[in-house]
């Protein structure tokens, strides 16, 4: 069974975090949500809009070999914490070095950029590209390039997660979840 790691940092975008976890699980992907070490070291992580989510594991317990992908929800607060956290940055680099999938949406491609694992072609929340590489930004809902999946924001979260399902589990599971959630626009 495919496995995904979804780090949830204080200030993450709740729609994105919960949608990634939900859609991947519907698609047959085992998901571990993880909380960051540090000042907010608890399994209860509060998002950008004040919604608190209980994470499954501490990020320090994540072993790269056990996962096929690391997928980051956006939200500037969470993104900045992921970009500044040594463990999160190290994990991103390890996923990329081992040829595993790396994914980020909304502002979170910035954390990939800081880690040096963002693909040449990417998308993100419009305006965030100014802090990354504006010349390489693509105005598309979801971009797949060099085993990196990026997406634009809360409204594209289902499409982003469905693309992860497609890449990890296959077209049949992608289609089943897409039809079951009425995600006709993906």
Contact 86, 111 (CB under 8 A): no
Q: Is 159 one of the annotated active-site residues of the chain?
A: no
Q: Give the C-alpha separation, 67 to 91, whole Å.
A: 11
Written out in words, the top-level CATH class of the domain with range 3-180 is: alpha beta
| Long-range contacts, 159-163 (Cβ 8 Å, 24+) | 159/183, 159/185, 159/186, 160/16, 160/19, 160/20, 160/103, 160/105, 161/19, 161/20, 161/22, 161/23, 161/24, 161/27, 161/71, 162/23, 162/27, 162/186
124-183, pLDDT tens digit by residue? 999 999 999 999 999 999 999 999 999 999 999 999 999 999 999 999 999 999 999 999
* Phi and psi torsions of 123, nearest 5°: -135, 165
**Would you say residue 40 has pLDDT above 70?**
no
95-134, pLDDT tens digit by residue? 999 999 999 999 999 999 999 999 999 999 999 999 999 9
Q: For the stretch 107-127, what's the b/e string if a residue is b when 16 or more beta carbons lie within 10 angstroms of its beta carbon?
A: bbbbbbbbbebbbebbbbbee
> Where residue 38 falls among pLDDT bands split at 50, 70, 90?
confident
Domain definitions of the chain by residue range: 3-180
pLDDT for res 42: 79
């Amino acid at each position: 069974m495919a496995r995904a790691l979804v780090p949830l940092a204080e200030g993450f975008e709740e729609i994105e975090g919960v949608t990634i976890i939900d859609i991947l699980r519907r698609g047959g992907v085992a998901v571990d949500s993880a909380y960051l070490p540090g000042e907010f070291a608890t399994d209860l992580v509060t998002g950008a809009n004040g919604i608190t989510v209980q994470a499954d594991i501490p990020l320090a317990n994540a072993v790269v070999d056990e996962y096929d992908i690391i997928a980051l929800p956006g939200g500037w607060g969470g993104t900045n914490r992921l970009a500044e956290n040594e463990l999160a940055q190290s994990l991103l680099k390890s996923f990329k070095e081992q040829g595993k999938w790396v994914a980020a949406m909304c502002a979170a491609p910035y954390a990939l950029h800081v880690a040096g694992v963002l693909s040449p072609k990417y998308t993100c929340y419009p305006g965030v590209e100014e802090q990354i590489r504006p010349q390489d930004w693509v105005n598309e809902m979801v971009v797949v390039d060099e085993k990196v999946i990026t997406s634009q924001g809360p409204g594209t979260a289902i499409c982003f997660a469905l693309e992860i399902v497609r890449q990890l589990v296959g077209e049949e599971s992608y289609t089943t979840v897409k039809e079951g959630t009425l995600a006709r626009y993906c």
